[in-house]
Amino acid sequence: MIPNHLLRLQTMLRSMVEVIIPALDPDSQLARDQAQILVANLRLLSEQADHSYEYEMVELREYAALLARLIASESAGRTTMVLQAACQSLLRDVEPIAALPIPRHADLAAHVLALRAAVDGLLEAASDDGEPGHYRRVVAAVLDQAAAQNLRERVWFKAAGLDAEPDSLPASDQVLRL
């Protein structure tokens, strides 16, 4: 499990408030002001972390509704009619996305934790009372998933510059396939 954005933001905020700002030279007002701006932004990001998809989904749905309303306008000239056709195509592309329910990050994370606990339970049960062939298959499946998770985490943190072989890692969109 990787530290989620909210935890990382809160850690940075705490470091700024408890360690970095107190260590700044009291005479360096520009540095103190910039640090306070950083603290304010970290607080905003922490507050908004669980709502960014919801925010963009609201925008997507509202702009799609506005575009549909504008297309429905009865008095349209030739150029407008050509643009309306392109806009209708765009709305058809957006429609399946706009219809998707977007879970809150906290709900999604809670479900992931529940699934992990269920996997742990089944792995332990298979170890205790499963036949040897069944246990080997369970372990093989868990190890396959762990390898995929490990790769995802390495890619996720590649920008931190800590991976021993960063050039061997695929792009994020290759490991974050939905």
pLDDT at residue 80, rounded to an integer: 82
pLDDT at residue 16, rounded to an integer: 95
Query: Averaged over 130-158, what is the pLDDT?
Result: 91
Confidence of residue 1 (pLDDT cuts 50, 70, 90): low
Confidence of residue 165 (pLDDT cuts 50, 70, 90): very high
Task: Supply the DSSP string of 24-73, one letter for each residue.
Answer: S-TT-HHHHHHHHHHHHHHHHHHHHGGGHHHHHHHHHHHHHHHHHHHHT-
**How far is it, in rounded angstroms, from Cα 105 to Cα 45?**
14
Distance of CA 171 to the CA centre of its chain: 15
pLDDT at residue 178, rounded to an integer: 61
**How far is it, in rounded angstroms, from Cα 8 to Cα 152?**
18
> Tell me: the pLDDT tens digits for 41-71?
999 888 887 777 788 888 999 999 999 988 8
